[in-house]
Structure 1
Amino acid sequence: MIGRSMLAYIPVNLANIVVSFGTVVILTRLLSAAEFGRYAVAIITMQFAHMAIFTWIEAAMARFQARAEKEGDVAHHLKTLYSLGAGMCLFASLFFAVFYYFIPLTGPMKTVIGFALASTCIQVFFNIGMEAHRASHRIKRYSLSFSFQTLLSFSLGIILILTTPLREIAPFIGIMIGVSFVLIFDLLFMLPKMKGGKFSRVKTKDYAAYALPISLSLLLSYALNSADVYLIAGYMGEASAGEYNAGYNLANRSLEIIFVWLAMAVTPLAVSAFEQDGAENSKSIMRDYGATLLLIALPAATGIALVAKDAGFIMGESVRDNAVTVMPLIAFAGVLNGFINYYVQRAFMLSGATKSFAWVMLPPFIMNIGLNLWLIPLYGLMGAVYATVAAYSLGAVLSMIIARRHYPLPLPIKALGQISVACGLMSISVLTMPWPEAWPDAVRLILKAGWGAFVYGFACWVMNIANCRNLAQLLRTKFSPTRNNDSAGDIKGANDIEGAVYE
């Protein structure tokens, strides 16, 4: 079930990969370290603003769309959420205008933050539609719309950097144009579904009670992820913030793509199973999900740590030297972050105990800020890294303990042990291999990654970790030019919910 849904989201993740790595590869070359630092601060500010004001609406769509379809209440459901989006957009525009006027900044930093905040008001309507498509298992529509918008926005931003004096402002103008273009076509599809629907205050209260705590918890989690950039900029300057963000993005974003990919595939399945059959059926999905997350993410983090120095050529020279030093530990912090936000958080989501998750993230957030204030003056960029790892470790332990009080969340301990052994074998094989220093970094990176992946894959196959042999069989069947009737029949009848994904 999970394997097929994962395959359906490959186009979205290819687009995310292009943009994520393109941001590091291209922007760190086109922009100076200070310009990239201002861009990083602006993109983080945009995300903070979006989570604080809009994310609760998107979370409500993701959680309640399946219920609305089950109860035949889709028109009222959609009309309520889109109306809330419009109202919050108006509020945000006024709030951002006041904030922009009084913000104690001048020059390029203030300007780029203004454009970043403006872009998030447009994104909310696009995101509401995308969450509706995912929750309704309209994967092809979601995949095409999201992928095209992502690539269009990024491409326009690059073109504007090259052809105008906009510099770090250009990517945000690209976002506004790209989102607006795709949004027109998405609204043409969504508006008829709202026909006859009315705004519901009762639904608004239910949605807010469920989703506002999620928004708060995501805000705290993102603060764990990114607030240190503000402190680095304050203590060490915009250029240092750009260096840290480049290394952080290359390591953490690589892992986040994996987590987002799997979450896209599994969350709608888990919600549908929970709504239709209760906790027990969703528990079996979550068990496979947790093992699959570790199966893919933990070796990816290990690989990033092993090739961090060789991967430095990916980044521009203005940020490269310091950026590669933060990557190994940030990679493992990224695994903890992803496991909290894309696995453990689903237990709070399914059980409805979203307020508890918000409180769980508060101690790690406070710890992270305190450690950053203490360690950055002592250790520079690595001080921020140490603070991040410590805070995520605390967050992982607390969230798992509290989550299991509300939902029977499976802990993939056996899979973790087996995967750790396989990652250890991979590390030993890469570190003991005599890689000539005279070889170009790109060649060493490719060979190390390929050799490590082979050793890890072989170890997983021997131990059949997380039933990986079944996933390999599914991949062969999916991409085989000739499929026999038995295989096709097996896949077609796998599961009613899974079949709905492809309708």
Structure 2
Amino acid sequence: LWPLHPGLKYAVLAGIAAIAPRTLVKLAQERRRAAGEVRASALLDMGQTLGGFAIGAGLALAGLGGAAPLIGAGLAAMACLPFVLPTDGRLAVSGRLGLARVRAHAAYGLPVALSLILALVLATTDRFLLARFLDEAAVGVYHAGYSLANRTLDVVFIWLGAAGGPALVMALERGGRDALKTAAQEQAQLMVLLTLPAAVGLAMVAGPLAQLMIGPALSVGAAHVTPWIALSGLLGGLTTYYFHQAFTLSRRTPLLLVAMTVPALANVALNLVLIPRFGLDGALWATPASYALGLAASALLGGRSLALPIPWRTVGQAAGASLAMALAVSRVPALGGLPELALKAGLGALVYGLIIALLDAGALRSRGHATLSARLARSAA
């Protein structure tokens, strides 16, 4: 009965139909993550992402329009269910419903769920406002560059979060706040050393990467968008996968909702002010500014609940190595496409990896991470 365009109506119906299988797979994924089964949890995430993309692309080529990626996501989740239902089904059958535990989980989880809705508002409002004040072409350019940068960084943060979150819980439960501080310090160091060069690297290879991954009609505009969204993705990832841990570990999730309200409202306000005056650039400026406010709010409010350490020395080392990497990459001529991307990525990885190894950033060698420099070099690409 909703008076929508037929294409949008089919897309909404496809999205609703995909909720049930995707929720079941997400439950299975989170159970594995909580149990420390990082590989299984990550495989489920990658299976849904890659499978949904492949199926959705095929359905889009078949002419299903905007419903195609949502149908693809639902079908990819259904394909994952046979791999998780036998184990998780047995656990579900053997469980018992406890109303006291349900109430405790609701008090803890409802603010988290609402904060995720605000995160969705933060990540999508700019597209609607771009469509309102500009046109659909601007939305297409913005979304192409946004997806290219944000999803690339998000994969790294998901991997780190899948391993780091349960590790912090176990450290707090087994060794108290002193053990948590040590574990959080190590996690923050590794996160900075991996994600800061990844964001800088994305910004430096935005042109050839967009030429390779995006059609010629959008590649130039997407290359302009990518560096700004890489910065936003870095700020957002550090906020979500590190500073938000303070709220969940201290069980003060209502403060998480407050912390997410700040960037969500700021994003709407900044876009309303900047897009009419500066067009697409206004949205690009509003996005990292909103995520920076969110990081500051989360760090300040989280410090009142459970202060997590910030490895400033490692931040400085990673920033210096990333700057040297950027200077080296900037000297590579603009060959275009895959040759330029491969050359810049290889040179950047080499420069960053060597500097981090020489500095022993984060005291990685003293903690026995002898092979991490090679991994950092590959991650910098």
Q: Which position in structure 1 is the counterpart of 2:379?
A: none
Q: Which position in structure 2 is the counterpart of 1:61?
A: none
3-state SS of paired residue (1:449): helix
Q: Which has the higher contact order (CA 8 A, sep 6+)?
A: 1
Q: Which position in structure 1 is the counterpart of 2:146?
A: 248
**1:397/1:143 CA distance change after superposition, 3 Å:** closer
Work out which of the residue numbers 469, 473, 478 in structure 1 matches 2:370. 473
Q: Are 1:117 and 2:16 an aligned pair?
A: yes
Q: Which position in structure 2 is the counterpart of 1:453?
A: 349
Work out which of the residue numbers 95, 119, 126 in structure 2 matches 1:221. 119
CA distance in 2, matches of 1:216, 1:113: 21
Q: Which position in structure 2 is the counterpart of 1:282?
A: 180
Q: Which position in structure 2 is the counterpart of 1:444?
A: 340
3-state SS of paired residue (1:309): helix
Q: Which position in structure 2 is the counterpart of 1:180?
A: 78
CA distance in 2, matches of 1:229, 1:258: 24
Q: Which position in structure 1 is the counterpart of 2:50?
A: 151
Tell me the C-alpha RMSD between the 2 structures: 2.1
Work out which of the residue numbers 231, 241, 244 in structure 2 matches 1:345. 244
Q: How many pairs align?
A: 373
CA distance in 1, matches of 2:272, 2:7: 26
Work out which of the residue numbers 198, 201, 225 in structure 2 matches 1:300. 198
CA distance in 2, matches of 1:326, 1:338: 18
CA distance in 1, matches of 2:15, 2:54: 17
Q: Which position in structure 2 is the counterpart of 1:233?
A: 131
Q: Please, which moves more after superposition, 344-353 or 197-206?
A: 197-206
Write the letter of the residue equivalent to 1:415: T
CA contact (8 A) 2:112 2:253 kept: yes
In the TM superposition, residue 199 of structure 1 has moved relative to its aligned partner by 1.8
Work out which of the residue numbers 217, 220, 231 in structure 2 matches 1:321. 220
In the TM superposition, residue 460 of structure 1 has moved relative to its aligned partner by 0.9
Query: Normalised by the size of structure 2, how large is the TM-score?
Result: 0.91
Work out which of the residue numbers 156, 161, 165 in structure 1 matches 2:60. 161
Structural mapping, 1:460-499, within 5 Å: 460-469=356-365, 472-474=369-371
> Highest Rg: 1 or 2?
1
Q: Please, which moves more after superposition, 227-236 or 453-462?
A: 227-236
Q: Please, which moves more after superposition, 331-340 or 173-182?
A: 173-182
CA distance in 1, matches of 2:104, 2:185: 29
CA contact (8 A) 2:36 2:163 kept: no
**1:384/1:471 CA distance change after superposition, 3 Å:** farther
In the TM superposition, residue 426 of structure 1 has moved relative to its aligned partner by 1.4
CA contact (8 A) 1:213 1:355 kept: yes
CA contact (8 A) 2:271 2:282 kept: yes
CA distance in 1, matches of 2:338, 2:192: 27
In the TM superposition, residue 118 of structure 1 has moved relative to its aligned partner by 2.3
CA contact (8 A) 1:419 1:465 kept: yes
Write the letter of the residue equivalent to 1:417: G
Query: Normalised by the size of structure 1, how large is the TM-score?
Result: 0.70
Q: Are 1:331 and 2:227 an aligned pair?
A: no
Write the letter of the residue equivalent to 1:256: D
Write the letter of the residue equivalent to 1:393: A
CA contact (8 A) 1:460 1:468 kept: no
Unaligned runs of 5+ in 2: 376-381
Work out which of the residue numbers 303, 324, 328 in structure 2 matches 1:425. 324
Q: Are 1:381 and 2:381 an aligned pair?
A: no
In the TM superposition, residue 472 of structure 1 has moved relative to its aligned partner by 5.0
CA contact (8 A) 2:42 2:162 kept: no
Q: Are 1:273 and 2:171 an aligned pair?
A: yes
CA distance in 1, matches of 2:294, 2:310: 16
Q: Deviations over 1:369-426 (max 9, x none)?
A: 0110111122222111111121112111121111111113101111111111111211
Runs of 4+ in 1 over 6 A off after TM superposition: none
CA distance in 1, matches of 2:319, 2:128: 34
Q: Which position in structure 2 is the counterpart of 1:361?
A: 260
In the TM superposition, residue 141 of structure 1 has moved relative to its aligned partner by 3.9
3-state SS of paired residue (1:352): coil
Q: Deviations over 1:204-241 (max 9, x none)?
A: 11001111111122222232222211211222233322
3-state SS of paired residue (2:248): helix
Q: Deviations over 1:278-311 (max 9, x none)?
A: 2221221111111111101111111112221222
Q: Which position in structure 1 is the counterpart of 2:378?
A: none
CA contact (8 A) 2:354 2:373 kept: no
In the TM superposition, residue 131 of structure 1 has moved relative to its aligned partner by 0.6
Q: Are 1:205 and 2:103 an aligned pair?
A: yes
Q: Which position in structure 2 is the counterpart of 1:43?
A: none
3-state SS of paired residue (1:409): coil
CA distance in 2, matches of 1:361, 1:475: 34
Q: Deviations over 1:293-334 (max 9, x none)?
A: 110111111111222122221211232222111111221121
3-state SS of paired residue (1:166): coil
CA contact (8 A) 1:344 1:403 kept: yes
**1:231/1:345 CA distance change after superposition, 3 Å:** same
3-state SS of paired residue (2:128): helix
